[in-house]
Amino acid sequence: MAEPTLLDVRRLTMRFGGLTAIGDLSLQVPAQRITAIIGPNGAGKTTLFNCLTGFYRPTEGEVCLHHPHKGEVHLQTLPSHRVARDAGVVRTFQNIRLFPKMTVLENLIIAQHNVLQKASRFSLAGLLGLPGYRRVEEEALQKAATWLSRLGLTALADHAAGDLPYGTQRRIEIARALCVDPLLLCLDEPAAGLNPRESGELNELLRHLCRERGIAIMLIEHDMSVVMQVSDHIAVLNYGRKIAEGTPREIQDDPLVIKAYLGEDDEGDEGGGGKGPAAAPLRGATA
């Protein structure tokens, strides 16, 4: 049986002056499934994530989250911190945004600041160490420890995050996002900097999050082996518009998708058009 729709993107448009980065895009993201967003450089993938998570306010259109407890939540009206706190839509970034001087554990604790602030009543409860605050603080530590263990980071808990290898910092970002208990986790190139073994472990983790913990995932990724192996559904963007969607097997042989990946211009992700990876990985990856 098909999963119900969690996120409904309706005719979304994002313009920057005369440039249309996203044009009249509609997309449905099912609950408890992995949806990949792929396309050549400049297709508008990161712009889409920015619109979904409150970093950009769309020029037109709606982004509606069907929250299991709060009903419809219109994300396009909310700032980024409320998208995460109130709607449970959490993201990672192309460019790592950890606190480099803090330890790995501290990065995961600070991700839970909304819960800790509420427990402290924004006053002296935290400073005085009242029982209610200590209990919430212990729960935050336990949650951080759980995700450190799940992502193989326990031995690095007391290391400064900025001193660790790039691939490890990627895993820390994912662990930090999971500490917020997301309904929808938006991952922007999570496999970047990972070796093949780490990529395989990432695939296993993403499947576990969906199947066992009920978290829906949206994924931007240029590693087609990851995309084809882990995704339930794929949407393909080019020049800010959706040109195809379907299962991994359907996408591999779609002529419009192959043509998009063989474009000539190689601008940045928010520019126009792009070359992107070769089409061969689309056909060669295992669905």
Average pLDDT for 236-253: 94
Q: What is the pLDDT of residue 258?
A: 87
Among 35-44, 122-131, 263-272, the least confident range? 263-272
Average pLDDT for 31-45: 95
| Res. 263: pLDDT tops 60 | no
| Res. 247: pLDDT tops 80 | yes
Q: What is the pLDDT of residue 114?
A: 67
Using CA atoms in the order 268, 27, 50, 269, what is the torsion angle rounded to 10 degrees? 0
CB atoms within 10 A of CB 170: 24
Indicate the helix (H) or strand (E) that contains 32: none
Separation of alpha carbons 149 and 134, rounded Å: 22
Q: What is the pLDDT of residue 246?
A: 95
Among 53-67, 185-199, 270-284, the least confident range? 270-284
| Res. 122: pLDDT tops 80 | no
Q: What is the pLDDT of residue 272?
A: 42
Residue that the structure tokens 């820390």 belong to: 172
Q: Are 260 and 39 in contact, with CB atoms under 8 Å apart?
A: yes
Q: Which of 271, 273, 253, 251 is nearest to 263 (CA)?
A: 273
Amino acid, res. 92:
T
Average pLDDT for 21-33: 96
Q: What is the pLDDT of residue 242?
A: 97
So what's the architecture of 1-88+182-264 in CATH? Answer: 3-Layer(aba) Sandwich (3.40)
Helical pair 113-120 and 131-150, crossing angle rounded to 10 deg:
170
Q: What is the percent of the chain with per-residue pLDDT over 70, rounded to a whole number? A: 83
Q: Are 141 and 119 in contact, with CB atoms under 8 Å apart?
A: no
So what's the architecture of 95-181 in CATH? Answer: 3-Layer(aba) Sandwich (3.40)
Q: Where in the chain is the domain with CATH 3.40.50.300?
A: 1-88+182-264, 95-181
